[in-house]
């Protein structure tokens, strides 16, 4: 009997046994009884999660920086005084 007549070849997702489904409608592992249609590898990820993840790009959070305006004014005053002192 050629392999073509045995149906589809499967490798059990639970125990790893290789077997043919013998053209039966439900591919069940002969060793552990796992239904191969329940394989996690055959199930695509939910479309909701993929769509949400693609729709929301992650933006880095900006850090708040406090600026001491009094210190800046003091520095500006010091620079003006130094410039006035340098004039002939």
Each residue's pLDDT, cut to its tens digit, for the chain (88 residues) gives 555 689 999 999 999 999 999 999 999 999 999 999 998 887 777 776 555 555 666 777 777 777 667 776 776 677 677 666 655 5
Q: CB within 8 A of 32, min separation 6: which ones?
A: 12, 14, 15, 17
For the chain, counts of helices (H) and of strands (E)? 2, 2
Of 56, 19, 54, 55, the C-alpha closest to 34 is 19
Measured distance CA(36)–CA(14) in Å, rounded: 9
Q: Specify the 3-state DSSP secondary structure of 10.
A: strand
Give the per-residue pLDDT at 46: 72
Question: Can you give the pLDDT at residue 63?
Answer: 78
- Global pTM reads 0.44
Tell me the domain boundaries of the chain. Answer: 1-38
Residue with tokens 């790893």: 16
């Amino acid at each position: 009997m050629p392999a073509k007549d045995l149906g589809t070849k499967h490798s059990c997702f639970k125990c790893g046994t290789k077997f043919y489904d013998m053209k039966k409608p439900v591919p069940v592992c002969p060793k552990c009884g796992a239904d191969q249609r329940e394989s996690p590898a055959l199930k695509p990820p939910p479309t909701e999660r993929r769509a949400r993840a693609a729709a929301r790009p992650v933006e880095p959070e900006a850090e708040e920086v406090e600026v001491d305006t009094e210190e800046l004014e003091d520095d500006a005053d010091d620079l003006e005084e130094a410039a006035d002192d340098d004039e002939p």
